Every structure is written in C-alpha cells, then in structure tokens.
Amino acid sequence: MRPLFLPSARQINWLLIVGFLSIGEALYLRYMAIEYTNVALACQGGLDTWLCGTFHLTMALLKYQAFGVVALIAALLNLIRPSIVLASVALAAACFGVVLHNTDLAALAAAILILSLARPAPAPE
C-alpha cells in the first residue's frame, strides 16, 4: 500500500504562505475597494489606478463565479493526482472565493482539498 499524500514541512510552509497572502489580498480588495463606497464609485467613474484595475477584474471574475470554478477544478484534479502545485492553486482560489462571496463552489473545493490529503501519494516514476 502506498503512503498517503502528506506534504513535507517545506510544502506546508508554502501552502501557509499562499493561503495567508490570498486571504489578505481578498480581504483588502473586498473592504478597501468593493465595499468602500468612495473607492467603488471612483473606480466605476473611470479612475485609472492599479486598485481600480484589480477592482474591475475581480468584479468581472465574480460575475461568472470564476474563483469557485477554478478552485473546484484544481481541487478535483488534486484529488485525482495529488500535487503541491494543484493544492496551491486550489487553496488560493478557494480563499478568494470564500472571502469574495463565491462560497458555494469555493467551500466545496476546500472540502475536496482536505479529502485529497487522504489519497495515496503518486507512485514514483
């Protein structure tokens, strides 16, 4: 029987960094651009800054639930074939999705990501 997919200490540290940075950026976007009326109105009025560009990109992605879809696809791929890269993508997209109200698919992706830790590790080639 193959061992379970268990990230090493370095990989866990990498996942912690990815998780905290993605939650921090999502919280910043939500509370400093999307829900802050002055900034949101200025961006919708045509202000051309990096924050407004990120605001417009985020709003376009939220319209199609892109964060939840990306998180779910990456989590399912990680469940099939565990990889630290897929886990990082799924974690970052799930964090963005949960913070930015894409919770349906993002929470499902987070649950699948947790289940992927119980899968056997890939066989060495």
> CA 44, CA 52: separation in Å to the nearest integer?
8
5 domain residue, yes or no: no
Q: Tens digit of pLDDT for each residue in 9-46? A: 999 999 999 999 999 999 999 999 999 999 999 999 99
**Total number of domains in the chain:** 1
Whether the predicted pLDDT of 2 surpasses 70: no
- pLDDT higher than threshold 70 for residue 122: no
Q: Cα(first)–Cα(last) distance of the chain, in Å?
A: 16
pTM of the model: 0.88
Range of the domain at 15: 10-118
Residue 123 lies in a domain: no
Q: What is the mean pLDDT of residues 64-92?
A: 94
- pLDDT digit string, tens, across residues 83-120: 899 999 999 999 999 999 889 999 999 999 999 888 77
How many whole angstroms separate alpha carbon 5 and alpha carbon 45? 49
